[in-house]
């Protein structure tokens, strides 16, 4: 659900989608279940663990959305790849189908 969205965003931004997905899921599991074991006993222990795990998901999303592919030219809206005609999201800076970077219509 949220993990597949992050991997799709990572693929569209030029990151390794498999690595991003594994990092996101593994870190979520470690944080949620590891913190329950490591935190001192208390009634808020599980709540803190869940909040930390979801905060990690949010941080990964923010990193992928705003840092990965940050130096590449960006489209203003959804765009069709000039090579394969695949319709990409506005957040994608490379074509999800053929991995070609977005080119401004002026330069294409």
**What class has domain 71-108?**
few secondary structures
Question: Residue 2 has what pLDDT?
Answer: 65
Query: Length of the chain in residues, anyone?
Result: 108
Average pLDDT over residues 55-60: 94
CA atoms in the 13 A half-sphere facing the CB of 80: 4
- Dist. CA 56–CA 30, nearest whole Å: 11
DSSP letters, 34-64, are HHHHHSPSSTTHHHHHHHHHHHHHHHHHHHH
pLDDT digits (tens, 9 = 90+) for 78-106: 999 989 999 998 889 999 889 899 888 77
Average pLDDT over residues 19-39: 92
């Amino acid at each position: 659900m949220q993990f597949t969205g992050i991997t799709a965003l990572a693929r569209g931004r030029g990151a390794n989608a498999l690595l991003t997905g594994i990092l996101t899921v593994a870190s979520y599991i470690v944080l949620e279940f590891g913190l329950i074991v490591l935190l001192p006993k208390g009634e808020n222990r599980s709540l803190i663990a869940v909040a930390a795990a979801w905060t990690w998901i949010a941080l990964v999303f923010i990193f992928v959305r705003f840092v990965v592919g940050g130096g590449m030219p960006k489209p203003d809206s959804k765009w069709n790849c000039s090579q394969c005609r695949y319709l990409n999201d506005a957040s994608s800076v490379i074509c999800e189908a053929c991995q070609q970077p977005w080119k401004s219509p002026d330069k294409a």
